[in-house]
Structure 1
Amino acid sequence: MPAPRHIGIILDGNRRNGARLGLHDPRQIYDLGARKLDDVLDGCAELAIPAVTLWVFSTDNLERPADQVSGILAATEAKLRALAHDPQIHRQRVRVQAIGKLELLPSSLVAAIRAAREATANYDGMILTIAVAYGKRRSQATGLSSVVE
């Protein structure tokens, strides 16, 4: 059976896993989840999967309590900053990109996205797409407008 060409992963269950581990600080909980990305990318590289999309943060998440939103966004920003300099990313020639309503994000997170994108822009290995501030309604509207055009 051939490996899939693209895998989409919805990051969910961080709070449940954090509670199971006795963690209560949202930043710690989401940092723990972000650290799992390395294992995921290693597995995808071993299987020669050329594209991975991580749905990190939906537009609906903006309505969560402020500490959860800031925890998710801070962990995402830290991971993106790390990806820009990660030897594994550069060795595997992973191109990082982001989709979503980036204008809804803090400027520091947008800068981290830009840094990861620019650091990996010329790579031709796996494509890692981070879906952030991305929602079902947005994807439906985008799809509909492309059909109408």
Structure 2
Amino acid sequence: MTKYDKILSLALEKMSNNDNNLPQHVAIIMDGNRRWAAKRGLGPVDGHKQAAEKTISPIVRRAIKRGIKYLTLWAFSTENQKRDKEELDGLFSIFKDALASNLKELEKLGVQIKIIGDINWFPGDIPTLARGFVERTKNNSKITVSFALNYGGREEILRAVSRLLDKVQTHQRSAEEPITEAEFSNLLDTAGMPDPDMVIRTGGNIRLSGYFPWQSVYAELYFVKTLWPDFTPGEFDKALLNFMKRTRRFGGGSFKDYLKGKIARRILAR
């Protein structure tokens, strides 16, 4: 840990003690693997491998240390299906190896693994392995780490609508009964999880690219130029500090909320 990281860590601990305003659920768009590899004269698969083997576990450990209860990592989008066969084959191999190699450590840390997205698209035994990891860790409660695999926001909403129609067709609900936000939320892939308080995107692109279109309406957005393989626990702390100095109003708010945000910003400036 560098001196700068130590200062960030101390500042974060001080702010959390004063304001107790850490996010409960952090969602990350892990962008920049291919650019990281290209800068080093490596192939795309090397960038994905570096990210899977060297970056994910330290961020999970730091999230646990900070008391984050839910961490969602977007590892593969539906648009990624369009990549060339060599890169896709490399990604499939990495998914299997990374999940298998990290499982013991994640279990020891008390991580509950969840998978969101349409994993049935993946070839071979990847869907079966993924479901096995979910089953093995279902009783862990330290933190829930969800991997978004073959995930797209529009596709998720379509799946939720299909589940709703299935309920109508199987007479589990009436077609005339108004649907509520809570009911629809429970039909999404993230059913049972709180909406993300914060969405972090690495790699410099300032867009969500269809990540959690329903769930992220009130999320605080944080964009950083750092490429995902270079994203350190110190960078994660920096994002949390940025979150804590914001005032979340959810369309409303009060003077008390304003004061809380002002106090946090003053602590950060010290």
Match of 1:10 among 29, 37, 42: 29
Matched residue, 1:38:
57
Aligned match for 1:97, one of 102, 109, 114: 114
Task: Give the SS at the match of 2:148.
Answer: strand
State the TM-score, normalized to the length of structure 1. 0.87
Answering whether residue 156 of structure 2 is matched by residue 108 of structure 1, we say no
Q: CA deviation at 1:140?
A: 2.8
Residues 93-112 of structure 1 deviation map (CA, whole Å, 9 limit, x = unaligned): 10011011111011321132
| Structure 2 CA distance for aligned equivalents of residues 142 and 94 of structure 1 | 27
Q: Which of 139, 145, 150 in structure 2 is aligned with 1:122?
A: 139
Task: Using the aligned pairs only, state the percent identity.
Answer: 26
Cα drift, residue 143 of structure 1 = 4.7
How far residue 130 of structure 1 moved from its aligned partner, in angstroms, is 0.6
1:73 to 92, 106, 109: 92
Alignment partners' CA distance in 2, 1:63 and 1:117: 27
How many Å separate the matches in 2 of 1:84 and 1:46? 19
1:49 equivalent among 68, 87, 91? 68
4+ residue stretches of structure 1 with deviation over 4 A?
143-149
| SS of residue matched to 2:115 | strand
Q: Give the C-alpha shift of residue 10 in structure 1.
A: 1.0
Structure of larger gyration radius = 2
Rounded Cα–Cα distance in structure 1 between residues aligned with 2:160 and 2:136: 29
Unaligned runs of 5+ in 2: 1-18, 165-178, 185-270
Partners of 2:22 and 2:68 within 8 A in 1: yes
Q: Deviations over 1:51-108 (max 9, x none)?
A: 011111011110111122222222122111123222xx12321001101111101132
* Count of equivalent residues: 146
CA RMSD for the aligned pairs? 1.9
Gaps in structure 1 of 5+ consecutive residues: none
Does residue 1:63 correspond to 2:82, yes or no? yes
Residue aligning to 2:158:
141
Structure whose residues are more often helix by fraction: 1
Q: Higher strand share goes to which structure? A: 1
SS of the equivalent of 1:127 reads: strand
Q: Distance in 2 between matches of 1:78 and 1:91?
A: 18
CA contact (8 A) 1:81 1:115 kept: no
Alpha-carbon distance between aligned partners in 2 of 1:141 and 1:43, rounded to the nearest angstrom: 34
The DSSP-based 3-state class of the residue aligned with 2:50 is: helix
